[in-house]
Amino acid sequence: MNLTKDRRNLRGSFVRVMNIRKEDTTMADVKKVIEIIDKIIADVDEQKLFLTELDNVIGDGDHGINLARGFDAVKTKIHLKAKISELF
């Protein structure tokens, strides 16, 4: 595994997700918020093994797996709720 390349890919994923245009910041609809969260969830799931490998060096090696599991619970909750105010 090429850690430098994977690190750049992970950083790029989060930059793409958070690259929100000014006109999108009104967040008038819940769909846009859910779309952003879904992109973050997909990127974390895609990178969970890399995050876990990084955690092997400094911790107990479960960071990526636990992040993915937590975000999976978030995704389930998001898609069961109709209003953003019910989520937070």
| 12-47: pLDDT as tens digits | 555 555 555 545 545 456 678 888 889 999 999 999
Nearest to 53 by CA among 17, 8, 7: 7
For residues 58 and 71, give the distance between their C-alpha atoms in angstroms, rounded to a whole number.
22
Q: Are 50 and 64 in contact (CB under 8 A)?
A: yes
- Least confident interval from 9-13, 49-53, 59-63: 9-13
Distances (CA, A) of 46 to 10, 25, 28, 30, 61: 9, 26, 29, 24, 16
Looking from the CA of 31 toward its CB, the CA atoms found within 13 Å total 1
Enter the pTM of the model: 0.59
